[in-house]
Amino acid sequence: MVKYQDETLDRTFAALSDPTRRALLARLGEADGLSVSELAAPFPVSLPAIMKHLDVLADAGLIVREKTGRTVSCRLTAQPMEQAMNWLNRYAQFWADNLDRLAAFVEEETWPTQPSTPPNDQRNAQASRSRAGFAHGRKKSTPPGRKPSS
């Protein structure tokens, strides 16, 4: 029961450790539901390579793919991220001692660059909408409509 979560965390972090995969997620963040080939277009690697990355992302539960006709569209999912977040959050506490700079850092907007750089696609510095907080003003106002988890 705990083991499963652990493995999910493994796969989540592992999936995030590749820049191409982070870039894929980034693209989906900008435009969810892109097809595999649309998704692959900006990258300098072969389609099969992208396919494998998508496999990894799907395996980690970070995306889902659904086929419609001959095209497959990919959408983001977030459950695994919660766990990753939680893990990091937990350690933020430990480290807050030595550097409460961390809290400030995240609280502010200190993003010198974009989160990921699609290998060729160099049109950057656009998505930095900053506002790093994700748990700021809004509380748990809207009860999660899906997957009550509690």
Site for DNA in 8-27 (CB under 7 A): 14, 17-18, 20
Site for DNA in 51-90 (CB under 7 A): 51-54, 56, 65, 67-73
Residue 121 near DNA by CB under 7 A? no
Residue 31 near DNA by CB under 7 A? no
Binding residues for DNA, rule CB under 7 A, total 27
Does residue 79 sit in helix, strand or coil? Answer: helix
- What is the DSSP code (8-state) at residue 97? T
Cβ 74 to DNA, closest distance in Å? Answer: 8
Query: Which residues neighbour 118 within 8 Å (Cβ) at sequence distance 6 or greater?
Result: 23, 26, 27, 42, 43
Stretch near DNA under the rule CB under 7 A, chosen from 33-41, 76-84, 86-94, 109-117:
33-41
Residue 120 near DNA by CB under 7 A? no
Does residue 54 sit in helix, strand or coil? Answer: helix
* Nearest residue to 126 (alpha-carbon basis) of 116, 141, 136: 116
Q: Which is nearer to DNA, 106 or 117 (CB)?
A: 117
Question: Letter for the amino acid at 97?
Answer: D
Residue 8: contacted member of a second copy, DNA, none (CB under 5 to 8 Å, by partner type)? none
Rounded distance, CA 65 to CA 36, Å? Answer: 9
- Max distance between CA atoms of the chain, in angstroms, equals 55
Stretch near DNA under the rule CB under 7 A, chosen from 29-37, 102-110, 124-132, 134-142:
29-37
Where do we find the tokens 């900053």? Answer: 130
Q: Which residues make up the interface to DNA (CB under 7 A)?
A: 14, 17-18, 20, 35-38, 44-49, 51-54, 56, 65, 67-73
